[in-house]
Amino acid sequence: AQKITQTQPGMFVQEKEAVTLDCTYDTSDQSYGLFWYKQPSSGEMIFLIYQGSYDEQNATEGRYSLNFQKARKSANLVISASQLGDSAMYFCAMRDSGTGGYNKLIFGAGTRLAVHP
């Protein structure tokens, strides 16, 4: 069965520094997608970045980058130049092809990031 593991329940970072949030996954599929979402205290889930299993380059979106190590089955999120507004829960997720092509997302337990001034 597919599984996402986020081993860091909480992380602290100083403003303007970079931080890495860990994510490992388990799947027997050859084709899969990995996502990172941000959930601020308001509760909305905000899409940050996507990495496809066949993508040769690590994904980047502004200050977010994904350190994709396929052989190690890890997809760590790197946030550069942290800002106070980055304080939130961060979820790693994997697309599960499932049956019928409905492509549900399997989520990790999340990491709570606190950015200190």
Partner 1 sequence: SQTIHQWPATLVQPVGSPLSLECTVEGTSNPNLYWYRQAAGRGLQLLFYSVGIGQISSEVPQNLSASRPQDRQFILSSKKLLLSDSGFYLCAWRDRHPLERQYFGPGTRLTVL
Binding site for partner 1 (CB under 8 A): 4, 33, 35, 37, 42-47, 50, 52, 91, 93, 95, 100-105, 107-110
Nearest to partner 1 of 16, 40 (CB atom): 40
- End-to-end Cα spacing for the chain: 41
Closest contact distance (angstroms) between CB of 91 and partner 1 is 6
Closest contact distance (angstroms) between CB of 45 and partner 1 is 4
Closest contact distance (angstroms) between CB of 67 and partner 1 is 19
Nearest to partner 1 of 50, 64 (CB atom): 50
Q: Are 48 and 39 in contact (CB under 8 A)?
A: no
Nearest to 54 by CA among 103, 110, 95, 22: 95
Closest contact distance (angstroms) between CB of 31 and partner 1 is 10
Nearest to partner 1 of 16, 70 (CB atom): 70
Nearest to partner 1 of 70, 104 (CB atom): 104
